[in-house]
Amino acid sequence: MPLASIPSPSQGVWYLGFVPIRAYALCIVLGVIVAVWLSERRWRARGGQSGTIVDIAVPAVIFGLIGGRLYHVITDWQTYFGSRAVKEPYQALFIWEGGLGIWGAIALGGVGVWWAVRRRGISMSAVADTVAPGIAFAQAIGRWGNWFNQELYGGPTTLPWGLEIDINHGGEPGVLYHPTFLYESIWDLALGFALIFAGRRFALHHGRLFALYVAGYTLGRFWIEGLRIDPVGGVDHAVTFLGLRINQWTSIVLFLGALVYLYVTRNKDSEELVVPPTASYTGPGEPGESAAAAEGDDSETSASKEAEGSSSEGGGPKDTETAAEDADATKATPAAEDTSAESSGETSAEPSAGAASGAASGAASGADETSAAEDAKPPAATTSEDAEVGSPAPATVQASDDEPSEAARASDRPVEEPPADSREDDAPAPEAVTKEKNSR
């Protein structure tokens, strides 16, 4: 009669009404939560965006559950199919009854991670290194589901920590068995802490920390698997090859593969993307606009605001056009005053009929030029008060300057009032100058 032992739970399922709450499923879910929480913290500490690991975990868990179950059914197919099957074929879908192969879970779960990181544009190796310790802790928690199900135990032992297994689950009265679930849980827990230490101490990147996880897990799994007596690959016995179980051979292959990867990538130190490029991603799971397009939109907005500001300060389009006409009229003022002075001189020197005849000819010529100028000018220019015949606007504009021109001072002197016909000659001059400027 053993002095000490580890008892097995009397039940692994509780009911909330008609809804079953299974301890195995709770252990899996709790392990996933711990892994995601730890990995998310490690990812942010590495400079990644918050929420990245949570988004990646969704396809990773779904693919992982499918892969784990497929591996179990493939390696234990005689349990569900064939003449010696102890379960119905449809029970292969009952994940809650236990039976998830870690190798399939990691393999197909990795496919889900690859699909997610490719969409986000970040490095697969960076994510693998980040989640490696979390996976080890998740396995440590998940193994307790085997304890509730009284499965995957080892051979008989007399050790004080031997595990009690009831008859319904293959045990014998008074016999204790190796608690392989506990061995692996402790191994995985120690492995998780070792990975955190190694990652900080040696700065293992580019998938090397994940390779160290694979090597460490398979090393422990090899000797723990050698203690188990559950019939992997068969109904009443385990399938072996050269004296080793299937999972032991799998551990050997993966352990050697991890060592090769560590050696091949020992000098790899290129940059790993932990933040999605801004040209292809702006938030969790959402494509965004390119930076060039964003800059173009900003430039157009700034230009529109500047144009509106200029228009409001200048008094609107109509005031701008009026200002332009005033400027043309100002430039044309000296020429108009010179023409007026010449006409006045001729009138004073020759007050004869010849001057009157010349004035009449000039009026006719000016009328023709005025008509041509009015046809050439835009409609808005004809409404300007500064361009009207006999308007004092040129003098007013000129007077606003700091030093009036000589022509402006001459216009202020009293001169002999020319005849009405002669005043008409002065009107076309600004229009003619304006026409000449527009034609140039």
Structure tokens at 215: 């090597």
Write out the H or E segment, with its range, that includes residue 136: helix 124-142
Structure confidence at residue 137 (pLDDT): 97
Q: Mind listing the pLDDT tens digit for each residue in 199-234?
A: 999 889 999 999 999 999 999 999 999 999 887 665
* Predicted local confidence at residue 256, as pLDDT: 97
Q: Quick one: 151 and 222 in the same domain?
A: yes
For residues 258 and 323, state if they share a domain.
no
The reported pLDDT for the residue numbered 114 is 94
How far apart CA 167 and CA 175 sit, in angstroms, is: 10
| Three-class secondary structure of residue 4 per DSSP | coil
Is pLDDT of 412 > 70? no
Mean pLDDT of 172-195: 94
Say whether both 253 and 329 belong to one domain.
no
Predicted local distance difference test score (pLDDT) of residue 418: 53
Assess contact for 71 and 119: CB atoms under 8 A.
no
Residue 417 shares a structural domain with residue 347: yes
Residue 440 confidence (pLDDT): 46
Provide the CA 103 distance to its chain's centre, in angstroms: 33
C-alpha distances in Å from residue 414, one per residue of 322, 370, 401, 409: 31, 28, 22, 11
Cβ atoms 3, 176 nearer than 8 A: no
Q: Does residue 283 lie within any of the structural domains?
A: no
Does 414 fall in a domain? yes
Q: Which residues pair with 13 in a beta bridge?
A: 22
Residue 60 has pLDDT above 70, yes or no: yes
pLDDT in tens, 287-325: 444 334 444 444 444 445 454 544 444 444 444 444 445
323-380 confidence digits (pLDDT tens): 445 545 444 444 444 444 444 444 443 444 343 444 444 444 444 444 444 444 444 4
Q: How confident is the model at residue 236 (pLDDT cuts 50, 70, 90)?
A: low
Contacting residues for 208 by C-beta, under 8 A, at least 6 apart: 129, 261, 262, 265, 266
Identify the pLDDT of residue 402: 47
- What rounded mean pLDDT belongs to the chain? 73
Does 361 share its domain with 244? no
Indicate whether 101 and 178 sit together in one domain: yes
* Residue 343 φ/ψ, nearest 5 degrees: -65, -40
C-alpha distances in Å from residue 429, one per residue of 48, 345, 358, 367: 76, 17, 16, 10
Are 243 and 253 in contact by the 8 Å Cβ rule? The answer is no
- 6-24 tens-digit pLDDT: 899 988 889 888 888 889 8
Among residues 225, 248, 264, which one ends one of the domains? 264
Confidence category of residue 174, pLDDT binned at 50, 70, 90: confident
- Percent of the chain's residues with pLDDT above 90: 36
d(CA 221, CA 238): 16
318 SS3 class = helix
Q: pLDDT tens digits for 369-397?
A: 444 444 444 444 444 344 344 444 444 44
**Residues of the binding site:** 143
pTM reported for the whole predicted model: 0.61
What value does the CA radius of gyration of the chain take, rounded to a whole number of Å? 48
- 245 belongs to a structural domain: yes
Closest CA to 429 of 406, 409, 403, 407: 407
Residue 49 lies in a domain: yes
- SS3 label, residue 164: strand
362 within a domain of the structure (yes/no): yes
Do 239 and 149 share a structural domain? yes
Q: Are residue 239 and residue 160 in the same domain, yes or no?
A: yes
Tokens of 102: 């870690």
User: Is the per-residue pLDDT at 399 higher than 60?
Assistant: no
Which range marks the domain in which residue 407 is found?
Answer: 319-439
Domain count, the chain: 2
Question: What is d(CA 72, CA 92) in angstroms, rounded to the nearest whole number?
Answer: 9
CA-CA distance, 365 to 345, in Å (whole number)? 19
Determine contact, residues 377/434, Cβ cutoff 8 Å. Answer: yes
